[in-house]
Structure 1
Amino acid sequence: MMPKEEIRKPLLRATQHPNASMSDPGSPVVGILGTGDFSRSLARRLVTSGFPVVVGSRNPKRCSSLFPEDVEVTSQHQAASQADLVFVAIHPEHYSTLGSLREALAGKAVVDVSNSTCLNRDGPSQAEQLAAMFPECSVVKGFNVISAWTLQTGPRDGSRQVLICGDSSQAKNSVFHICRSTGFHPVDMGTLSAARDIENTPLLLFPSWRLPALATLLLFLFFYLYNFLRDILHPYLFAGKYVFYKLPVETVNVTFPCVALVLLALVYAPGLLAAFLQLSRGTKYRLFPAWLDVWLRSRKQLGLCSFLCAALHAVYSLCLPMRKSARYKLLNAAFKQVKAGQEDSWVEEEVWRMELYLSVGILALGLLSLLAATSLPTVANSLNWREFSFIQSRLGYAALVMATLHALIYGWDRGLDPEQYRFYLPPPFLLVAVVPCGVLLARLGLALPCVARRLGRIRRGWEEKRHIRFTLPEDAGRSSMDDVSGV
């Protein structure tokens, strides 16, 4: 049998780009220290992008068969000496073995691609430790957020950005050039002091979604318990009706639209609060409170959570007639109608209510779908600011109006029925309409000519003299955000 290395080598050759051997004569020689998965994937990507590549290994003969034939595999010292720019693709605990390369790496850009195994909140970053070991080098942190698989298959929309930082602008520009040439998008994160945040990035799981996800969960639990008390527990205690079968589907279906509507209102509430705050202060140059700033930055995620709940409500509603309980109820109603000799059970008011309720709900879901689609980076990047603002602000408020009407038409005149106030609790459609109605009324207030004119002057830089002040250093890091009316 052939050795494993001999089996893998033809695969690497077969998947090689047809122009891989035609490297650009003006391209810098890129060195890679290490022969792991990331090193092999990076070497292939660089070769297919036209860069001459030399790989440094402690055992070149054994590892040469793992790389494309256009890649030179040699000793670490020779690779460091030949290369113009060096990627360090070894684990941080082995950095001490590179001490003999100090002279060969002097004056060169060294890219640290390592990642931490746990969050680093206090100590120096791995890139800073490498820079301390090689003070004559220009250490750059980058490519650690890109996986070996992404390097092999090519960048996708969700993994195109490469976070880069370093103290030398010349070294960073060299890494930027390599990054763009390989199909990725470099993002300058500043000096090497930002390396710790970059190293922590792959270890964070949806950091910007924690508050929206928690808000969605708490709202769901609240409305689910609220509907359980009114629709399940109250009939059981006071009428002896056992309707606990409604918990898995019907109660959930009533809960989702409540959550979706409140979340959608919470998307636009912070922008209105910020506008009233600017009006009361008479200036846009004072920073918002920290809690409002966090709320403003969570609007996109809140909107997507609202869309998720609305979409689930639509799916659950379509599945309602498929339930056995719904079929039994329909058969029982038909039997009672036949037994009573009633030929026509048509109720004009109920028909119109349901037709309007469904039509407005479909329009609201359609507008929410448009808002969610324009939140995707690929779609948002194709829109200019005016188009994006129109969809997220104007059409967003239209979606909020439609969703609120959907809830109110569902309630119709049942808010006047005393039997609907079980446990002295108002019907859900009345409770859930409080927040969106308040948001819409506040938006109408800001649309008044006298208010809108003053707010427009403030956002163009005008301010009352009594509000002029200097920004204190401790306020740094929070924005005043000129336009906060949209999503």
Structure 2
Amino acid sequence: MLADMEKTSADVLPLTMVSSEEQETICIFGTGDFGRSLGLKMLQCGYSIVFGSRNPRMSSLLPNGAGVLSYSEAAKKSDIIIIALHREHYDFLTELTEVLRGKILVDVSNNLKINQYPESNAEHLAELMPGAHVVKAFNTISAWALQSGALDASRQVLVCGNDSKAKHRVMDIVRSLGLTPLDQGSLMAASEIENYPLQLFPMWKFPFYLSAVLCVFFFVYCVIRDIIYPYVYEKKDSTFRLAISIPNRIFPIAALTLLAVVYLPGVIAAILQLYRGTKYRRFPDWLDHWMLCRKQLGLIALGFAFLHVLYTLVIPIRYYVRWRIGNQTISQAISKKENPFNTTYAWLNDSYLALGMLGFFLFVLLGITSLPSVSNVVNWREFRFVQSKLGYLTLILCTAHTLVYGGKRFLNPANLRWYLPSAHVIALIIPCTVLVIKFILILPCIDKTLTRIRQGWERNTKFSQSPFNAKTDI
């Protein structure tokens, strides 16, 4: 028994020593915030770290267990050197040309503005060090993300490089840190990767601008109708409506319009494909960008819908509403009259509320399924069913909600003020247009042709003569 224990101990000890000896050493040039954070993360994942610095002395800011040497001495310790320096400090590397020859240089730098230099920092580094293998990586991860953990921030690390072996070694390190590497190809992609962290909501600009324009337009429109008009003709001060009433008209109008704008590019694309008779021609750039922004447009529309719900819930506690109800009650008590119950109006009111609640429920469902954590667990057919079929059902319900709200007032000339109709009448233009065009497109005679085009059939080609020769590219 004792012999077995001794044998076991003897077997375990060499293995432990070997594993510690086989720790890969990685060199980091630069002892700034990012370099220290990356070094600490690598130490936690089992790597041996040595820092290269122009003033090689140990600091309390550096992670415990890391070494600090001069640039030349540190470079000799590892085949992989992470350049955690700004581009303007690259010139000193030319003095280390022979030491860095054949080594992997990982450029993690970023610029202060998009396209700050004619070539990317990584390409500039490759020109300075032609004997080294330059790889661009880690620039899309912040020092905060490395310190707080990958689960609290983006886990994607974009990687590019001309040498496939060097690139895959860096990608292996990325995986060992619990991050997700994305191969972006050769070093030519470095400019795009360096611009990525500098972009401020690139897919949100158009939705934000459009929603701002809608809000400003309808705000001015409602102010003219509901505040300026009563003051001019009745000397009535209605400025108190600026706080609740007018915003609660703008928010549902913006929500409905933006929801329609989400599905409008789809019908425009279908019309273009029918007109061209092929799917093998690019859409115009404006339409292509519009289609890419549909998710953001839908989320902003959902935000406006939430605001509409909140503003509607506070209506009963408004001073103006309580004052009006109190006055009506006193007037009825004095005159000893009561308003007869109107079944038609009750139906319209309940239908208006029911359509709004159902539309809002489906609206929230669309927003939930657009989340990556949800969309990743459904297949393409399920995702398309929710975003397309239920999306159009949501648009129908919300449009019907607005139509029932208007009721007979749509065609009543008394509602015109300076020949301007109510704001919700204008809000119905785009949604109704989208629904009418979509109804035409799903007619069997048109839908059949559109389906064939999307399956690869082309009009006015030799392939269109026989369905057996039709292209079937996906």
- Work out which of the residue numbers 43, 46, 52 in structure 2 matches 1:50: 46
Identity across matched positions, percent = 45
Aligned-partner Cα distance in 2 for 1:166–1:221: 47
Structure 2 residue matching 1:60: 3-state secondary structure: coil
Deviation at 1:371, TM superposition (A): 1.3
- Superimposed CA distance per residue, residues 16-73 of structure 1 (whole angstroms, 9 cap, x where no aligned partner): xxxxx9977766422111111111110111122222222222333333x433333233
The answer to whether the aligner puts 1:39 opposite 2:1 as a matched pair is no
> Structure 1: which 4+ aligned runs deviate by more than 4 Å?
21-27
Higher RCO by CA contacts (8 Å cutoff, separation 6 or greater): 1
How does 1:397-436 map onto structure 2 within 5 Å? 397-436=392-431
- Superimposed CA distance per residue, residues 389-425 of structure 1 (whole angstroms, 9 cap, x where no aligned partner): 1111111111101110111111011113211111112
- Work out which of the residue numbers 217, 237, 240 in structure 1 matches 2:235: 240
Residue in structure 1 matched with residue 89 of structure 2 by the alignment: 94
TM, length-normalised to structure 1: 0.87
- Work out which of the residue numbers 192, 211, 216 in structure 1 matches 2:211: 216
Residue in structure 1 matched with residue 468 of structure 2 by the alignment: none
- Residues 141, 166 of structure 1: 8 Å contact kept: yes
Residue in structure 2 matched with residue 474 of structure 1 by the alignment: none
- Residues 22, 50 of structure 1: 8 Å contact kept: no
- Residues 23, 50 of structure 1: 8 Å contact kept: no
| Change beyond 3 A, Cα 1:61–1:321 | same
- Work out which of the residue numbers 172, 190, 194 in structure 2 matches 1:199: 194
| Change beyond 3 A, Cα 1:207–1:85 | same
The answer to whether the aligner puts 1:353 opposite 2:348 as a matched pair is yes
Amino acid at match of 2:352: Y
- Work out which of the residue numbers 277, 280, 284 in structure 2 matches 1:289: 284
| Change beyond 3 A, Cα 1:104–1:325 | same
How does 1:244-323 map onto structure 2 within 5 Å? 244-323=239-318
Aligned-partner Cα distance in 2 for 1:440–1:434: 10
- Work out which of the residue numbers 138, 142, 148 in structure 2 matches 1:143: 138
Deviation at 1:465, TM superposition (A): 2.8
Aligned-partner Cα distance in 1 for 2:402–2:213: 20
Aligned-partner Cα distance in 1 for 2:340–2:228: 30
| Change beyond 3 A, Cα 1:62–1:68 | closer
Aligned-partner Cα distance in 2 for 1:334–1:25: 89
Amino acid at match of 1:100: E
How does 1:447-486 map onto structure 2 within 5 Å? 447-466=442-461
Residue in structure 2 matched with residue 166 of structure 1 by the alignment: 161
- Work out which of the residue numbers 328, 335, 351 in structure 1 matches 2:323: 328
Aligned-partner Cα distance in 2 for 1:251–1:421: 17
Aligned pairs, number: 449
Deviation at 1:118, TM superposition (A): 2.3
- Residues 420, 427 of structure 1: 8 Å contact kept: yes
Superposed CA RMSD: 2.1
Aligned-partner Cα distance in 1 for 2:21–2:448: 61
| Change beyond 3 A, Cα 1:23–1:338 | farther
Amino acid at match of 1:443: K
Amino acid at match of 1:363: L
| Change beyond 3 A, Cα 1:224–1:381 | same
Deviation at 1:344, TM superposition (A): 5.3
- Residues 283, 467 of structure 1: 8 Å contact kept: no
How does 1:63-78 map onto structure 2 within 5 Å? 63=59, 65-78=60-73
Deviation at 1:321, TM superposition (A): 2.1
- Work out which of the residue numbers 119, 128, 131 in structure 2 matches 1:124: 119
Amino acid at match of 2:74: A
TM, length-normalised to structure 2: 0.90
- Residues 303, 372 of structure 1: 8 Å contact kept: yes
Aligned-partner Cα distance in 2 for 1:24–1:196: 38
| Change beyond 3 A, Cα 1:157–1:268 | farther
| Change beyond 3 A, Cα 1:467–1:237 | farther
| Change beyond 3 A, Cα 1:22–1:430 | farther
- Residues 140, 164 of structure 1: 8 Å contact kept: yes
| Change beyond 3 A, Cα 1:243–1:181 | same
Aligned-partner Cα distance in 2 for 1:467–1:232: 65
Aligned-partner Cα distance in 1 for 2:371–2:301: 15
Aligned-partner Cα distance in 2 for 1:121–1:77: 30
- Residues 282, 467 of structure 1: 8 Å contact kept: no
Amino acid at match of 2:261: L
Structure 2 residue matching 1:139: 3-state secondary structure: strand
Deviation at 1:74, TM superposition (A): 2.5
Aligned-partner Cα distance in 2 for 1:312–1:467: 55
- Superimposed CA distance per residue, residues 197-238 of structure 1 (whole angstroms, 9 cap, x where no aligned partner): 222222221111111111101111111112222222222222
Aligned-partner Cα distance in 1 for 2:328–2:18: 78
Structure 2 residue matching 1:32: 3-state secondary structure: strand
Residue in structure 2 matched with residue 374 of structure 1 by the alignment: 369
- Residues 421, 427 of structure 1: 8 Å contact kept: yes
Aligned-partner Cα distance in 1 for 2:145–2:53: 23
Structure 1 residue matching 2:58: 3-state secondary structure: helix
Amino acid at match of 1:361: G
Aligned-partner Cα distance in 2 for 1:405–1:158: 41
Aligned-partner Cα distance in 2 for 1:435–1:301: 18
- Residues 145, 152 of structure 2: 8 Å contact kept: no
Structure 2 residue matching 1:413: 3-state secondary structure: helix
- Residues 145, 153 of structure 2: 8 Å contact kept: no
The answer to whether the aligner puts 1:61 opposite 2:57 as a matched pair is yes
Amino acid at match of 1:248: A
> Which 10-residue stretch deviates more, 178-187 or 340-349?
340-349
- Superimposed CA distance per residue, residues 146-197 of structure 1 (whole angstroms, 9 cap, x where no aligned partner): 1111001111375111122222222211121111211211222222222222
Residue in structure 2 matched with residue 84 of structure 1 by the alignment: 79
Deviation at 1:139, TM superposition (A): 0.9
Aligned-partner Cα distance in 1 for 2:212–2:135: 41
Gaps of 5+ in 1: 1-20, 469-481
